[in-house]
Structure 1
Amino acid sequence: MMRLAKNSGAALRSRRRTVREGRFRHRGAELVYDDAGEGPLAVYAHGGFVSRAAEDRMGLFDWAPVLDVGVRLVRYDARAHGRSTGEPVDSDYTYPSLAGDLLGLIDHLGAAGPIDAMGASMGCGTVLHAAVRAPDRFSRLVLLIPPTAWTTREAYARANRESADTVEREGVDAWLAAKRKQPRPEVVAGVPPFRPTPTERVLPSVLRGLARSDLPSPTAIAALHQPVLILAWVDDPGHPLSTAETLAHLLPHADLHVSRTRADIRTWGERIAAYLTRPQS
């Protein structure tokens, strides 16, 4: 009896972790996604310049606990990132444009009601703009490492415009060499480096599109009614704690957790799983 229960549990976990690949066309691009697990739908949008596969190699976020609690998890490669296609059009890579891709994916998946949405960095901006545009399509939000916003955004935007010029003038390797000279946050110092997944032809447009982006206005964010979990780390100018703290203050139903060690970041999967299965009031 005990052996049967154990084997049945292992079989259930295996089904939940079986990954099905899908793709759909939206606004001239083919977007590729992974679809795993069974249960309520949650969609995840990754950060800028990476992809599903790059994040997996970096080893920062563990999605197994989310699948183990009975969630259908869809992770997709943003336009021009990873295995998704995209053209060198700056406006395609602004947060509002990327939010349109996310809403298109939700339509493609045939979601019957509100879904949970999660996003890291660029994906955080994507999710927030989608939620502001179509709040009734989302039940809960999880915002990982919110990026620069509002008063801290201009310096980031200026650096991105300069980076786009460098890539066009000297190539992507020159840009990466300059980035390697910049100090990395201690909490992620051991994370393997990665090359940007957008091609060199498209990368300048991605950089300029992000330079033209910002989070929604504080007033728009304060109007969101969904429960929100915010996961942040410290000492990262690209993802300043000030953004996470401001979001926690603005959002009427927000929980903020700040990690100061890599070991604590490894708990984020369990924290997300607990949050997505917590009864909503």
Structure 2
Amino acid sequence: MAAIAREGAELAWSASGREGGPVVVHAHGAMSSRAGEERHGLFGWEPVARVARLVRYDARAHGASSGRAVPEDYLFTNLARDLLAVVDHLDAGPVTGMGASMGTATVLHAALARPDAFERLVLVIPPTAWETRKAMAAHYREAAEAVEARGPRGFAETMAGEEPAAIFAEGPAFPLPDVPWKLLPSVMRGLAASDLPAPAELATLAQPALILAWETDDGHPLSTAEALADLLPAATLHVSATVADVRTWGARVAAFLTARS
């Protein structure tokens, strides 16, 4: 297994696609992983791999990556430092930073820290931010306490009352967290203490950006995607109302990567 050593973690990663093509580094969402995305089957990134070198890695404590029970390790700002460590390890020059949900936040914080490391941004289902982040943070803290008190049963009880977003009423169902139960409370507390960068900071990011969002999901509200589309100087927003349209995202990203700036 290819891995990158970080303080408190070993980051597992893999690469596929076109040798010598533009490099795309993908950061998945919270509780997911490379394998989790594949099991879920919603995101099909094969078209991306046909036009680029696609590098995917598991965030600390997710999937095949290790981690520790330190909530600060899972702040978006620290996850951004992990992403930059992956970029530096590749030594490929400026890359496209692509992230889903938590990965979107990771990419944005990383791009602000090191703008020269990224030539393009792909922001998939941006998460709650700013005002809408408060309710989600409280939910993460509640879930962390439930897992500490009752383990997997506590997590299931916390999630039991949640209705799936209308767009996913007929599936596919989201899988169980790909995070060890003993680390899940720390991951959730780190997420609860995190937010997207301030709007004024985001407005300084000049890279071409593709934003992909879907409707009816309070955890990934259109308000965040629309705000990012307004703030980022060179952003394009696409919103999906059906699962069938979500499945076109891989092709949309491939077209974005091969379009002339």
Q: Which residue of 1 aligns with 2:62?
A: 81
* Structure 2 residue 137 is matched with structure 1 residue 165: no
Q: Which residue of 2 aligns with 1:231?
A: 212
Q: Distance in 2 between matches of 1:206 and 1:245?
A: 27
Aligned partner of 2:55: which letter?
A: V
Q: Which residue of 2 aligns with 1:67?
A: 49
CA contact (8 A) 1:95 1:125 kept: yes
- What's the offset of the Cα at 1:216? 0.3
Q: Which residue of 1 aligns with 2:132?
A: 152
Please identify runs of 4+ aligned residues in structure 1 that moved more than 3 A.
none
Q: Distance in 1 between matches of 2:43 and 2:179?
A: 21
Segment drifting more, 36-45 vs 181-190: 181-190
Aligned partner of 2:138: which letter?
A: R
Task: Give % identity.
Answer: 55
Aligned partner of 2:13: which letter?
A: Y
**Structure 1 unpaired stretches of 5+:** 1-20
- What's the offset of the Cα at 1:128? 0.3
Q: Distance in 1 between matches of 2:153 and 2:35?
A: 21
Aligned partner of 2:152: which letter?
A: V
TM-score, normalization by structure 2: 0.97
- What's the offset of the Cα at 1:200? 1.2
SS at structure 1 position matched to 2:81? helix
- What's the offset of the Cα at 1:193? 3.4
Q: Which has the larger radius of gyration?
A: 1
* Structure 2 residue 126 is matched with structure 1 residue 142: no
Q: Which residue of 2 aligns with 1:181?
A: 161
- What's the offset of the Cα at 1:64? 1.1
Identify the match of residue 205 of structure 1 among 167, 179, 186. 186
TM-score, normalization by structure 1: 0.90
Q: Distance in 2 between matches of 1:156 and 1:193?
A: 18
- What's the offset of the Cα at 1:27? 1.3
Q: Distance in 2 between matches of 1:109 and 1:172?
A: 37
Identify the match of residue 30 of structure 2 among 48, 58, 62. 48
Q: 1:194 to 1:72 in 2, by over 3 A?
A: same
CA contact (8 A) 2:143 2:154 kept: no
* Structure 2 residue 260 is matched with structure 1 residue 275: no
Q: Which residue of 1 aligns with 2:88?
A: 107
Q: Distance in 2 between matches of 1:197 and 1:65?
A: 25
- What does 1:259-274 align with in structure 2 at a 5 Å threshold? 259-274=240-255
CA contact (8 A) 1:22 1:35 kept: no
Q: Distance in 2 between matches of 1:260 and 1:68?
A: 26
**Structure 2 unpaired stretches of 5+:** none
Segment drifting more, 119-128 vs 194-203: 194-203
CA contact (8 A) 2:146 2:158 kept: no
How many residue pairs match? The answer is 258
Q: Which residue of 1 aligns with 2:223?
A: 242
SS at structure 1 position matched to 2:136? helix
Aligned partner of 2:198: which letter?
A: S
Once superposed, what is the RMSD of the aligned Cα atoms? 1.0
Segment drifting more, 83-92 vs 28-37: 28-37
SS at structure 2 position matched to 1:30? strand
Aligned partner of 1:44: which letter?
A: H
Q: Distance in 2 between matches of 1:135 and 1:180?
A: 41
